[in-house]
């Protein structure tokens, strides 16, 4: 609670799945508000796990992780859901799209569900969706079922969904893994523009070290994490 400008702050954060060995053991990590961080590490090093803890999908031990001023570990599961819905945009590594909704409805879903996110939109939901889709080159797919998209197209739907309504914290788990160079560039541009406009914090995971210098600072998980053996 010392640093008012900290967006994410981990102290002695440990995590294991069930009774398994520790996947994470992070003595100390701070990400300041408005910072754009590039998180990297080999496959299986615990990147997705860390993002899950930050987003409240997984439950950390109380006192070990603070996100947007809240002790995530002390929150009940519905309270973590609310924190994530209102303030965090999450591009899941596995996309997690709703199979029976079309592209437009998938992108608009979090904004429709959450009033806070909706309030931060400038105009009507439909307009914002179309605009985001246009930036990512999927505006011609808006009425298409998501199950009929290519992986890269699905990834862009997931990305558009996460940034709509300008959440304070955007978490992106390898959002560009299936994109070609042009798409990757357009996506990063949209992402940065969004982050800048709303002063959001960005936590970005990628294996593509070539992207690292576009961020404020790189963060190597194996260096932070004592559990990585």
Partner 1 sequence: MLILNLARQSLTNRILTTSLTALSIAFSVALLVGVENVRTGMRESFSNTVSGTDLIVGSRGGTIQLLLYSVFGMGSPVANISYETWKEWDEHSAVSWTIPYALGDSHRGFRVIGTNESFYERYKYRGGQSLALAEGREAGGVFDVVLGAEVAARLGYALGENIAVTHGMGGFMDHDQMPFEVVGILDRTFTPVDRAIYVTLEGISAIHMGWETGAPPMMGEEVAPEEVLAMEEIPVTQITSFFLGAESRAFTLQLQRDISTNEEEPLTAVIPGVALAEMWRGIGYAEDGLRVISGFVVLVGILGMLVSIYTSLDARRREMAILRALGAGPRRIVSLLVLEAGLLSAIGAFLGVLFVYGGLTVLQPWLEGRFGLQIPIQMLDTTQMIYVGAVVVLGFVAGLVPAIKAYRTALHDGLSVRV
Ligand X SMILES: Nc1ncnc2c1ncn2[C@@H]1O[C@H](COP(=O)(O)OP(=O)(O)OP(=O)(O)O)[C@@H](O)[C@H]1O
* Contact pick of 32, 82, 120, 185 for partner 1 (by CB under 8 A): 82
Pair of tokens at residue 46: 């615990």
Largest CA distance in the chain: 50
Q: Residue 152 CB, nearest distance to partner 1 (Å)?
A: 19
Pair of tokens at residue 115: 């009033």
The reply on whether position 20 binds partner 1 by CB under 8 A is no
The reply on whether position 48 binds Mg ion by CB under 5 A is yes
> From residue 106 to residue 135, what is the string marking binding to partner 1 with x (rule CB under 8 A)?
---xx-xxx--x------------------
> From residue 43 to residue 82, what is the string marking binding to ligand X with x (rule CB under 6 A)?
xxxxxxx---------------------------------
User: What residue number has its CB nearest to ligand X?
Assistant: 48
Q: Residue 53 CB, nearest distance to ligand X (Å)?
A: 10
85 binds, among ligand X, Mg ion, partner 1, none (CB under 5 to 8 A by kind): partner 1
CB atoms inside a 10 Å sphere around CB 115: 10
Residue 89: C-alpha distances to residues 114, 130, 161 (Å): 12, 18, 8
Cβ-count burial of 21 within 10 angstroms (0-12 exposed, 13-18 middle, 19+ buried)? exposed
Which uninterrupted H or E stretch holds 38? strand 36-40
CB atoms inside a 10 Å sphere around CB 140: 10
Handedness of CA 87, 169, 69, 64 (dihedral sign): positive
Instruction: Estimate to the nearest angstrom the gap between the alpha carbon of 130 and the chain centroid.
Output: 21
Indicate the residue among 39 and 149 with the shorter CB distance to Mg ion: 39
Which residues form the interface with partner 1 (CB under 8 A)?
A: 52, 57-59, 77-78, 81-82, 84-86, 90, 92, 94, 96-101, 105, 109-110, 112-114, 117, 161
**Contacts with Mg ion, residue ranges (CB under 5 A):** 48, 93
């Amino acid at each position: 609670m010392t640093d008012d400008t900290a967006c994410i702050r981990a102290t002695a954060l440990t995590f294991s799945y069930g009774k398994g060995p520790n996947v994470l053991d992070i003595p100390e990590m701070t990400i300041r508000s408005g910072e754009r961080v590039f998180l990297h590490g080999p496959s299986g090093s615990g990147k997705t796990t860390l993002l899950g803890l930050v987003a409240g999908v997984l439950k950390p031990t109380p006192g070990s992780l603070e996100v947007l001023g809240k002790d995530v570990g002390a929150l009940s599961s519905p309270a973590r859901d609310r924190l994530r819905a209102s303030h965090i945009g999450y591009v899941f590594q596995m996309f997690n799209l709703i199979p029976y909704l079309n592209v437009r409805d998938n992108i608009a879903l979090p904004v429709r569900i959450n009033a806070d996110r909706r309030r931060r939109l400038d105009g009507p939901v439909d307009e914002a969706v179309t605009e985001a889709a246009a930036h990512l080159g999927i505006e011609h797919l808006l009425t298409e079922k998501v199950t009929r998209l290519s992986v890269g197209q699905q990834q862009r739907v997931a990305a558009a969904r996460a940034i709509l309504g300008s959440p304070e914290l955007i978490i992106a788990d390898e959002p560009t893994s299936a994109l070609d160079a042009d798409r990757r560039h357009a996506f990063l541009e949209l992402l940065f523009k969004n982050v800048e406009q709303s002063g959001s914090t960005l936590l970005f995971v990628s294996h593509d070290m070539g992207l690292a210098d576009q961020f404020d600072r790189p963060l190597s998980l194996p260096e932070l994490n004592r559990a990585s053996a």
